[in-house]
Amino acid sequence: MTSEATRLDPPAKPATEAEQRIIIRGGNPLHGTVRVGGAKNSVLKKMAAALLAADVSVLRNVPNLTDVHMMAEVIRHLGARVTLSGNEVVIDARQVNEVEAPYELVSQLRASFVVLGPLLARFGNAKVSLPGGCAIGERRIDLHERGLKMLGADVKIEHGYVHVQAERLIGNRIYLDRPSNGATENIMLAASIAEGQTIIENAAQDPEIVNLADFINAMGGRVSGAGTYQIVIDGVSQKDLHGATIDTIPDRLEAGTFIMAAMATGGEIVIEGVNPHHLYSVISKVTEIGAEVSIYAPDTLKVRSQGSSRATDITTVPYPGFPTDLQAPIMSILAAAEGTSIITETIYENRFMQVGELRRMGADISLKGNAAVVKGVPRLMGAEVKATDLRAAAALIIAGLGADGVTELTGLSHLDRGYEHLEEKFRSLGADIWRR
């Protein structure tokens, strides 16, 4: 095990909006093979889950992202020792003794709110800053609150903090009004060491939830049904939980980003290290609009595209439906497709921030409530654009790869939260893209 003195390596390129930009000369068809990393949205939750056991856990296939470094800061603040070497994170949660996660940390990384469940379950109380809204929506936590109350916790929101306290947590049947990922995770984590059985109805079914349940089970927990709408958690004693080692599932959103990029430029790429089962809705949609996607090997996809697509209508819905996180990337394809598409966003109130930037590139998109009417234009044109969130950043890179002329993207701190070496990976596929 590595010592506490070993700090996480800094992210490869600390991007600040003022200093760095990605420059893309569009039009090069993509060819070659690329490998996706581990899923950010899975790793962050497993880092919180490691706090459940007073022991050492190892997470494998971890991408080197600023969000992972920020989550390490959060759990280190709580007393965990965290080391990252290569793509492995070792978390020693034996000395965890702090139950307060402050605003300055949680406000930087919403995902860190998921420490609430493990802290409550292990220590009987916790105080975690409310994360607040963000560029894409209000992002409420009422379902987390209600779920923990139903396990017997006293939950108070005061001065921007959620205070939770419970002498004992007792299993219950909890229905979620919507299949929230974060609420499913916080409840699942707390219920793992509650007394008796908890059933979460209308749970999030995402692969990241399954990976989290697998990790809890590897630690000695008893979770079944993850990946379906009903998750059953039989609580175990905290003392019976131990550290575990687990692989992180592939990042389906990174894979989706490469699929869209190949469609924007045309060409033929092989994407390795994916789980095609996690991408059915995406493969189905992109096939409908003109891409050829084949499962080349159990963990490998081949994508072939002429670089031209047809319009379609898309509605973002919880997994296994079309993911909100690929809504902006596919909009970049539909903006230059033949015909008019309607994209309806049902997960977030404000996830069309990329639209103004795509318009700067010549896109013809109008917004009507939670729908975007996208009239395809023959070609997008390179322009100076700015990312406002992670997936908007990916969308603008995809648009730039397919556009005529040069695109300059700023706002790279958003990109670096969730994509590792994205421009290097695109360069290896033949794109003319660099950072300066």
Task: State the CB neighbour count (10 A cutoff) for residue 368.
Answer: 9
Which of 301/387 has CB closer to ligand EPU? 387
Q: How far is the CB of 32 from ligand EPU (least distance, A)?
A: 26
| Catalytic-role residue among 8, 134, 317, 406 | 134
C-alpha span between 125 and 435 (Å, rounded)? 45
Instruction: Report the b/e string of 71-106 with b at 16+ CB within 10 A.
Output: bbebbbbbebbbbbeebebbbbbeebebbebeeebb
Q: At 237, is the secondary structure helix, strand, or coil?
A: coil
Give dist(CA 244, CA 29) in Å, integer: 43
CB of 318 to ligand EPU, least distance (A): 7
- Please choose, from the candidates 197, 196, 198, 201, the residue with its C-alpha nearest in 3D space to the C-alpha of residue 230: 201
User: Residue 179 or 376: which CB sits closer to ligand EPU?
Assistant: 179
- In the annotation, is 134 catalytic? yes
Least distance to ligand EPU, CB of residue 2, Å: 26
Which of 151, 142, 211, 214 has its CA nearest to residue 183? Answer: 142
DSSP 238-253: GGG----EEEPPB-HH
Binding site for ligand EPU (CB under 6 A): 41, 44, 110-111, 137-144, 178, 180-183, 204, 324-325, 347-348, 390-391, 418
Indicate the burial class of 108 (C-beta count within 10 angstroms; 0-12, 13-18, 19 or more): middle
Q: Provide the minimum distance between the beta carbon of 4 and ligand EPU in the complex, in angstroms, as a whole number.
A: 26
Return the structure tokens found at 365. Answer: 């998109």
Q: Which amino acid is at 373?
A: V
CB closer to ligand EPU out of 140 and 239: 140
**Cβ nearer to ligand EPU, comparing 171 with 182:** 182
Closer Cβ to ligand EPU, 236 or 422, answer by number? 422
Task: Assess contact for 396 and 383: CB atoms under 8 A.
Answer: no
Nearest distance, CB of residue 384 and ligand EPU, angstroms: 23
The set of catalytic residues is 134
